[in-house]
Structure 1
């Protein structure tokens, strides 16, 4: 058993020390330069800047749909790609945004439609998922939904005699 272990150790020692070629000679300088350029760019992100990050519809009648447009600009140094715009409920629907890269300095927009459901003060958040440093940005809509005057109530009660 000792002979087997000694023989195996000797073979491993010979195998590991037999590489006579210097490892630094195997490095391709072109690949090093390309990797450095890639790494320098990878730390630069687009910046998604909104004209306004919140829109207040004011008072609206229950059930009346309203829309607003959120304008934005890429103020970063890399192309901006919006991959998704989502809300937490079906009463608020984002639409009409470009999935194409937005170059630095260029502007874009998307529409948000709210269906007027709910009662009283409402606030809805819209999450914009993009290739920014944070990965997502949030814009909000607000409204005060007034109760429908024709719903659920009857005229003044008639006095019985």
Structure 2
């Protein structure tokens, strides 16, 4: 019985060893080259570079709608694809961006509209989701929203005090 088990083990060892040699001979050079090219391209990412990452509207009246355009460039080595742009609040609306791949060296833009809601100093963030190495980039808008009613009321109170 021991001789039978020992014989089968030796036969299995020879079979597995010979299969490995045959398998390595089956690997085609074209497949190896294609895999190397794929791996080299996998490390190339687009780079999203903005002309400005923060826009200040300055002082605006309450409920005054304002908008700005953020321009960007793909300074990376692969096509840039923006999949989503969303803001931190419903009062800020990003729109008009291309969903088409942007080739390296090319530029694009999107518009951000703010409806003037909220009192005093506001800062809103806009997150751009793309196929960059980081996966997302952030731009900001800010403004000082002055309430025209508060100005009128304070002037009225000052006039009645005299």
Q: TM-score range by the shorter chain?
A: 0.7 to 0.9
SS for the counterpart of 1:38 is helix
How big is each residue's C-alpha offset from its partner over 1:80-109, in whole Å with a ceiling of 9 and x where there is no partner? 000000111100000000000000111000
> What is the RMSD computed on CA atoms of the aligned residues?
2.6
Q: CA deviation at 1:24?
A: 1.5
Answering whether residue 132 of structure 2 is matched by residue 132 of structure 1, we say: yes
SS for the counterpart of 1:149 is helix
How big is each residue's C-alpha offset from its partner over 1:19-45, in whole Å with a ceiling of 9 and x where there is no partner? 423132121211111010111111111
CA distance in 2, matches of 1:96, 1:12: 69
Label 1:13 to 1:84 Cα distance change in 2 as closer, same or farther (>3 A): farther
Label 1:27 to 1:122 Cα distance change in 2 as closer, same or farther (>3 A): same
Unpaired stretches in structure 1, ≥5 consecutive residues: none
Q: CA deviation at 1:149?
A: 1.8
Tell me the residue number matched to 2:44: 44
Answering whether residue 69 of structure 2 is matched by residue 72 of structure 1, we say: no
SS for the counterpart of 2:138 is strand
CA distance in 2, matches of 1:97, 1:31: 38
CA distance in 2, matches of 1:68, 1:12: 76
TM-score (norm 1): 0.85
Number of residue pairs matched? 155
CA distance in 2, matches of 1:15, 1:57: 78
Runs of 4+ in 1 over 2 A off after TM superposition: 9-17, 150-159
CA distance in 2, matches of 1:120, 1:10: 88
Q: Give 1:76-155 correspondences, 5 Å limit.
A: 76-149=76-149, 153=153, 155=156
How big is each residue's C-alpha offset from its partner over 1:39-81, in whole Å with a ceiling of 9 and x where there is no partner? 1111111110101111000000001110000000101111000
CA distance in 1, matches of 2:73, 2:28: 40
Unpaired stretches in structure 2, ≥5 consecutive residues: none
TM-score (norm 2): 0.84
Higher helix share: 2
